[in-house]
Structure 1
Amino acid sequence: MADDGDRAPRDRRHGPTTERGLDRVVNFSDAVVAIAITLIILPLVDLAQEYGGGPVAAFLAENWTGLAAAALSFVVIANFWRDHHRIFERTVGYSRRLVSLNFVWLAGIVFLPLPTVLLFDSSGDDRGAPMLYIATMLVSMVAVRLQQLVIQRDGLLSEEAAAMPPRPWALVWAPTGLMLLAFILAATVPGLGTQALFLLLLSIPLGWVGGRKHRGD
Structure 2
Amino acid sequence: MATTTPRDPYRKASANAARAGSRSAGDVRVRRRVAHPRAPSPQSHTGPHALAAKPSATDGSAHDATRQAPALHRVLTLTDAVVAIAMTLLVLPLVDVAGQVGTGTIGAYVANHGNLFLSFAISFVVIYVFWAAHSVAFRRLEDTHTEAPALHLLNLGWLLLIAFLPFPTAVVGRELTTTSAPVYIGTMTVLSALTAGIITVTDRVIGPPRRTAWAWLTTAIFGLCALLSLVSADLGMLALLSVAVVRVVERRLLPRDPARRGDRPPAS
TM-score normalised by length of structure 1: 0.79
Distance 1:65 1:100, change over 3 A: same
Contact kept, 8 Å, 1:12 with 1:18, in 2: the verdict is no
Match of residue 150 from structure 1: 201
Q: Identify the range of structure 1 (85-94 vs 111-120) with the bigger mean alpha-carbon deviation.
A: 85-94
Distance 1:11 1:213, change over 3 A: closer
Are positions 1:129 and 2:172 aligned together? no
Distance 1:203 1:111, change over 3 A: farther
Kindly provide the amino acid, as one letter, of the partner of residue 113 in structure 1: P
Match of residue 212 from structure 1: 255
Candidates 179, 186, 192, aligned match of 2:222: 179
Higher relative contact order (Cα pairs below 8 Å, separated by 6+ residues)? 1
Structure 1 stretches of 5 or more lacking a match?
A: 1-9
Candidates 62, 69, 86, aligned match of 1:19: 69
Correspondence list, 1:183-202, <5 A: 183-189=226-232, 192=235, 194-202=237-245
Matches of 2:233 and 2:131, distance apart in 1: 32
Kindly provide the amino acid, as one letter, of the partner of residue 185 in structure 1: L
Contact kept, 8 Å, 1:185 with 1:192, in 2: the verdict is yes
Kindly provide the amino acid, as one letter, of the partner of residue 109 in structure 1: I
Matches of 1:68 and 1:179, distance apart in 2: 17
Candidates 31, 34, 47, aligned match of 2:84: 34
How many residue pairs align between the two structures? 196
Match of residue 104 from structure 1: 157
Structure 2 stretches of 5 or more lacking a match?
A: 1-59, 259-268
Candidates 93, 96, 100, aligned match of 2:146: 93
Matches of 1:130 and 1:13, distance apart in 2: 50
Distance 1:13 1:67, change over 3 A: farther
Q: CA deviation at 1:13?
A: 8.7
Candidates 107, 120, 123, aligned match of 1:57: 107
Q: CA deviation at 1:213?
A: 7.0
Residues 154-190 of structure 1: CA deviation (Å, up to 9, x unaligned): x3x3xxxx3xx53264333221111111111111347
Match of residue 6 from structure 1: none
Max Rg structure = 2
Matches of 1:171 and 1:95, distance apart in 2: 21
Match of residue 172 from structure 2: 119
Kindly provide the amino acid, as one letter, of the partner of residue 24 in structure 1: R
Q: CA deviation at 1:44?
A: 0.7
Contact kept, 8 Å, 2:118 with 2:173, in 1: the verdict is no
The RMSD of aligned alpha carbons is 2.5
Distance 1:110 1:147, change over 3 A: same
Matches of 1:79 and 1:65, distance apart in 2: 21
